Amino acid sequence: MKEKTYHTRCGTIHYWASVSNPDEITLVFLPGLTADHRLFDKQIQHFKEKYNVVVWDAPAHAASWPFRFDFDLFDKAKWLNDILNQDKIAKPVIVGQSMGGYVGQAYAQLYPNRLTGFVSIDSAPLQRNYVTAVELWLLKRMKPVYAHYPWKLLLKSGTEGVATSDYGRNLMREMMLVYDGDQKRYAQIAGHGFRILAEAMEKNLPYELKCPSLLICGTQDHAGSCIRYNKAWHQKSKIPLKWIEGAGHNSNTDKPELINSLIEEFAAGI
């Protein structure tokens, strides 16, 4: 994997790419809020010899810092498109975990015919009709919660709350420790992320996925209302939904072999 950069008006995005043939399928891994490129280590190891792979540290996360919090979800999707164009990637398949799945849907809204495939891992639909007014109100007011929560407790709940496996929890702890001693930055990343998510939902756009898609969700995913959202998303859209028994919100770190086989099967069928 080669580390690369893309410069934006708000800062520089760092991403990692292994692209041997840009005309073939490229798996584009987008980590969730406060996680970084390491979230997909088990997927990168598995796929880098079989497919082109790209993974980023999202704006303001980990290596993609310093970064001004003057962007929305659509800016992230546009910058992602610029990165894919920079590497001449012809057939992107977005694999988005949590917030990464929302970025993927914003991307599908802006570039409806650009995606070859979309895989949602423990994410949820971006359409307005799935969320309540109270949920939107709360999403816009999360920054002070993260700013004033005792860091040690935040570290504990942040790691134990997203994964059920030792590997998944230890990895999330490592990713959170990037912000050890700078809780203000962590709170900014989380608060800003939830706010731009709410704003994208309030736009009430169709966010239609015109490419082959797959929903994946852990049966022990207790982050927000992910399970409820995925049930409704599957019911309404008829997109196939795979439940990962015993996995938490970061199901790709709890059951990596199973997730890898699902992605492989999906990519082979496109």
pLDDT tens profile 154-198: 999 999 999 999 999 999 999 999 999 999 999 999 999 999 999
- The structure's pTM equals 0.98
78 in a structural domain: yes
243: domain CATH number? 3.40.50.1820
The number of folded domains in the chain is: 1
* CA-based end-to-end distance of the chain: 25
192 in a structural domain: no
Interval 35-59 mean pLDDT: 98
User: How would residue 246 be classed by pLDDT, with cut points 50, 70 and 90?
Assistant: very high
52 in a structural domain: yes
Q: What is the reported pLDDT for 39?
A: 98
150 in a structural domain: no
Task: Name the one residue in this structure whose structure tokens are 């496996």.
Answer: 165
The string of pLDDT tens digits covering residues 130-154 is: 999 999 999 999 999 999 999 999 9
The string of pLDDT tens digits covering residues 49-101 is: 999 999 999 999 999 999 999 999 999 999 999 999 999 999 999 999 999 99
Does the pLDDT value for residue 34 go beyond 90?
A: yes
Which of 166-201 are b and which e, b meaning 16 or more Cβ less than 10 Å from the residue's Cβ?
eebbebbeebbebbeeebebbbbbbbbbbbbbbebb
160 in a structural domain: no
Q: What is the reported pLDDT for 200?
A: 98
93 in a structural domain: yes
51 in a structural domain: yes
The string of pLDDT tens digits covering residues 191-222 is: 999 999 999 999 999 999 999 999 999 999 99
The length of the chain, given as a count of residues: 270
196 in a structural domain: no
245 is in which domain, residue-wise? Answer: 2-125+206-268
